[in-house]
Amino acid sequence: MANAILAFPRQPTHATFETTPALPPAAETDTAIPTHQLWRRLPADAFGETERAALWDLIATARPFSVDHWPEALAGDDAAAVAIALKLCGVDVLDTYRHDVALSMLLWHALKDSPAARTTLAFTLDRRRYLGEDVEQLTRSWRGPSRVEIRRAAVQALVEALS
């Protein structure tokens, strides 16, 4: 079943959902980032009102062909956004427009502080290493604190409370 989900055609069959050509490296382009690529190009702390508005416009008007749970994710269900992303995270589809739009939905939920969306976004960004990209800093920006950091902070708070 998983192979059937991840092995969808590279070229979408729906006329309104076409792939976009790959962009040249960032150094050769202007500073504007296409909205559908914000999820893979900006760290968590770089999103302002302009980016959020453009992101909402993208996901509110997109109708990706044969992507389950889109209406639920659009209505605010972060579990639906995570399900969409996990179904579309095969390495062979990391640079398709369809994948970018689906991960833009996940980004929207991550920006609304959904821990599941943030973790899934970090996981999906980490898979871009297979494309030869350096994503360590970007991935780290979306991950929450590690368990060690959480325990250390809890112990420190306990020590301060007892002293």
Q: Of 132, 130, 142, 136, which is closest to residue 103 (Cα–Cα)?
A: 142
- pLDDT computed for residue 91 by the predictor: 54
Q: What is the pLDDT along the chain (163 residues), one digit of tens a residue?
A: 444 444 444 444 443 434 344 444 444 434 588 999 999 899 999 999 999 999 999 999 988 777 888 999 999 999 999 999 888 876 556 678 888 999 999 999 999 988 889 989 998 888 888 888 888 888 889 886 666 666 777 788 788 878 6
User: How many C-beta neighbours within 10 Å does residue 80 have?
Assistant: 19
Q: How far apart are CA 92 and CA 82, in angstroms?
A: 19
Half-sphere exposure of 141 (CA within 13 A, CB side): 16
User: How many C-beta neighbours within 10 Å does residue 31 have?
Assistant: 5
| List of residues 6+ apart from 44 with CB closer than 8 A | 110, 118, 141, 142
- pLDDT computed for residue 131 by the predictor: 80
User: How many C-beta neighbours within 10 Å does residue 13 have?
Assistant: 9
Q: How far apart are CA 70 and CA 104, in angstroms?
A: 12
5 neighbors 87 (Cβ within 8 angstroms): yes
To the question of pTM greater than 0.85 for the whole model, the response is: no
